[in-house]
Amino acid sequence: MKEKLGLTNKKVILGICFKLHDRKGGDYLVELAKKLSDDEHMVILGLKTNEKLPENIMVLPKTHSIEELAKIYSMADVFVNTSLEENFPTVNIEALACGTPVVTFNSGGSGEIVDENTGFVVQIEDVTTLYEKIKIILKNN
């Protein structure tokens, strides 16, 4: 999948959101992308926007294919959930099921899904710590 998307030599940070300015935290994915190094790239699944995004963000259309979704999760080096409100986020579970570690805001049930073996939970809106935890995962594979 990385080869297909032209991201072979990049560390891929995956996020899922459909709008930038809502409770699902799309704005924080854009803020995070601005912190990434040259060998890191943000992929956002499902986003619909006419706004100009940073060059290091690739948007993939929403998919209804379970197989394609699993390939997308699996090619990511880390999954990031910047949602401000959650009940029990299946996106975190889906990422973990594909072997992809998760860094998530501490919203709703997110903190109950991720532990020290599967990723990190950070305070809501703390993009600096979010990126620090992503760097730990990328460094340690």
pLDDT of residue 15: 97
Residues 103, 80: contact at Cβ < 8 Å? yes
Question: Considering the chain, what is the average pLDDT of its residues?
Answer: 94
What confidence tier does 14 reach under pLDDT thresholds 50, 70, 90? very high
pLDDT of residue 24: 83
pLDDT of residue 122: 97
- CA distances from residue 53 to 25, 42, 43, 109, 136 in whole angstroms, order as listed: 15, 11, 11, 29, 25
| Percent of the chain scoring above 70 in pLDDT | 100
| Percent of the chain scoring above 90 in pLDDT | 81
- List the strands of the sheet with 78-81, edge to edge: 57-60, 40-45, 11-16, 78-81, 102-105, 119-122
SS3 69: helix
Query: Is it the case that residue 128 has pLDDT exceeding 80?
Result: yes
Q: How many CB atoms lie within 10 A of CB 30?
A: 22
Query: Is it the case that residue 90 has pLDDT exceeding 80?
Result: yes
d(CA 110, CA 25): 14
pLDDT of residue 70: 97
Query: Is it the case that residue 115 has pLDDT exceeding 80?
Result: yes
Looking at beta carbons, which pairs linking 129-134 to residues 24 or more positions away fall under 8 Å? 130/28, 130/32, 130/80, 130/82, 130/103, 130/105, 131/32, 131/35, 131/36, 133/103, 134/13, 134/32, 134/78, 134/80, 134/103
pLDDT of residue 87: 87
pLDDT of residue 16: 92
More confident residue, 48 or 32: 32
